[in-house]
Amino acid sequence: MPELLHHKLTTPWQVDQPIPLPEYPRPQMVRGNWQNLNGWWECAIQNLEAPKPISFTEKILVPFAPESRLSGVEHVLQPDEKLWYRRGFSVNHAADEVVMLHFGAVDFACELWINGRRVGEHWGGYLPFSFDITAFLIEGENELLLACTDATEAGLHQRGKQRLETGGIFYTSVSGIWQTVWLEVLPTRHIRSLKLTPNLDAGSLLAEVVLSDAVDPSGAALEAVASFAGQEVACASAKAASQMLLHIPNPHKWHPDHPHLYDLTLRLKVDGVVVDEVTSYFAMRKIGKARDDKGFWRFTLNDEPIFQYGPLDQGYFPEGLYTAPCEAAMLFDIEYAKKIGCNMIRKHVKVEPARWYYACDRLGMIVWQDMPNGGYITQDTVVAFAFTSGIHRCDIRRLRRFGRDDPKNREEYNQELKQLIDALYHFPCIAVWVPFNEGWGQFNAILTSYWLKGYDPTRLVDHASGWFDQGGGDFQSRHVYIKPLSASQPDERVLAVTEFGGYTMQVDGHVYTEKKRFGYGHHKDAASLTHAYLRLLDEQVKPLIPLGLSVAIYTQTTDIETEINGYLTYDRKVEKMDSATLRQAHLALYQAMKES
């Protein structure tokens, strides 16, 4: 079994006590009656085939994965092992209320029992899910038992950068619970889900509402009230209809420079009495693309061309791995990107908690959202051949090369992709979906792009980020690390350099390991790194903007384990380059777009 590297890196933040990450976990749909279940749970790790444990001898701090230092366990869960969680809880609810148990994310598969009775199961390691546990509850203390398994790269399911054998661009795996677990008590007759779609051209907001099965449509009514800066601006009502249209006069547009958000209150009434109320928020913004005066396609926000620049962001922390020690730590990375003048982040093959996207909405940060990859990672020799020859693998045949020859595996991916869109559709910061990265587990990318554009026509699609462009989607998407950046042959897509740079600098005392380091173009000190970085922007990025370049994504926000190519060290304690200098250079890119 691989051993965890017991590094000493620690970020400046402490875990909240007594409940880690105590904030309300679903800002897009808020109610008041809830209970956070984060904290110390009992746990046991057994062979995959072993029965339920009789006793639990270890403790684990939820929601930190067992592989992390903050969990108190520091064990890499193996494909032949099962991780068991147990805790007690009490909850008060009336006869006309239901109790929902919510999990932010559990990697990869899990099975739930309440008071010894099986409730259900779930698979997929990145997205929220819930169980109605009302019928399983007893008075007083209840027992929650959860069993988790995770094959990581021994299987072909979606796993992002996680590896049992770490190194280079792949990092320590994450298993089990890694986002907040919480209880919610709500009326039997309640609002089940809410989907908000702004239409900037029409000055309206479409609210699509799904109600619980217990609601009798004949006596039910919905009411929606939108406000801005505390002042009501629109309202609508309907007789338990599934849709309401709110007209937003003179809409305040959302933009990275002015991230205006509206508040929304939604009420469900039965026979004139409010039985459920949720609060939410939305933004008036429009994502698109259009030709400029020279005929180049440009990314547009609110019908205006905008140059996007920002980091590739992996969302790893030395002590918590996928899970930030606290919300302040999570916010720091976004705030740092704003500080240095970035207006976008590419969230790389990981899905963050809902509060991360809420922060990007509030702070004004455009997000490109990757789908976590599964299948096979492309071999280095194939990559080298593709780079030198310019030949792109076809992804509609010989799918065994991508680890996608099993129809069930492809269907699993498609289901998780749909669930990803459903889970994150609400957040206005998200502008682009990225279903495949560098050929990893790639299949039918053009068909996937068509499906995505049909399922969510409000956003753009980077169908094959990096190596194996199939000619679809909205972007010519390039990853360039070794050779110079260059323009491409124009087509009907936007030119985007979706990964580049990756310049390294080791900061002694702030590295994960002294033995290994990974990146491109090593620099010994801040002066050398800054000179090379500014030269890269000035001589390669800026000249391409008049030739159609609309997006550039630098690798990356922070160092991660053996990678030392971040703006920041892995512990977030050292900025490798002066932030004011970076900001000035990045703002110059936006000016170049305006002048092109």
pLDDT tens, position by position, 92-113: 999 999 999 999 999 999 999 9
Tokens 């002042």 sit on residue: 231
Give the pLDDT of residue 3.
Answer: 44
Angle of helix 526-536 relative to helix 579-595, nearest 10 degrees, comes to 10
- Which of the four pLDDT bands, split at 50, 70 and 90, describes residue 6? very low
Q: DSSP E strands: which ranges in 340-404?
A: 344-347, 366-370
Q: Is 98 within 8 Å of 186 (Cβ atoms)?
A: yes
Give the pLDDT of residue 2.
Answer: 44
Give the pLDDT of residue 467.
Answer: 84
- Which of the four pLDDT bands, split at 50, 70 and 90, describes residue 496? very high
pLDDT at 486 over 90: no
Backbone angles phi, psi at 310, to 5 degrees: 180, -175
Compute the distance between CA of residue 312 and CA of residue 289 in angstroms, rounded to an integer. Answer: 22
Rounded-to-5 percentages of helix, strand, coil across the chain: 20, 35, 45
Domains of the chain: 34-187 (2.60.120.260), 201-282 (2.60.40.10), 287-595 (3.20.20.80)
State how far the alpha carbon of 366 is from the alpha carbons of 247, 319, 338, in Å.
25, 27, 11
DSSP string, 451-487: HHHHH-TTSEE-SSBSS---S-SSEEEEEESSSPP--
Higher pLDDT, 321 or 218: 321
Least confident window among 33-37, 391-395, 536-540: 391-395
pLDDT at 591 over 60: yes
> Which distant-in-sequence residues (6+ apart) come within 8 Å of 511 by Cβ?
9, 517, 559, 564, 569, 570
Tell me the two tokens of residue 593.
């777009």
pLDDT, mean of residues 74-82: 96
pLDDT at 4 over 80: no
> Which distant-in-sequence residues (6+ apart) come within 8 Å of 309 by Cβ?
341, 342, 343, 344, 551, 552, 553, 554, 586, 589, 590
Tokens 């009434």 sit on residue: 269
User: Average per-residue pLDDT in the chain?
Assistant: 94
- Which of the four pLDDT bands, split at 50, 70 and 90, describes residue 386? low
Give the pLDDT of residue 381.
Answer: 63
pLDDT, mean of residues 428-435: 98
Positive or negative torsion for Cα 250, 252, 253, 258: positive
pLDDT, mean of residues 236-260: 94
pLDDT tens, position by position, 157-184: 999 999 998 888 999 999 999 999 999 9
- Which of the four pLDDT bands, split at 50, 70 and 90, describes residue 378? confident
Percent of the chain with pLDDT over 90: 88
pLDDT tens, position by position, 274-316: 999 999 999 999 999 999 999 999 999 999 999 999 999 999 9
pLDDT at 503 over 50: yes
pLDDT at 382 over 70: no
Max CA distance (Å), the chain: 72
pTM, two decimal places: 0.96
pLDDT at 388 over 60: no
pLDDT at 337 over 90: yes
Best CA proximity match to 452, nearest among 476, 474, 437? 474
- Which of the four pLDDT bands, split at 50, 70 and 90, describes residue 380? low
Percent of the chain with pLDDT over 70: 97
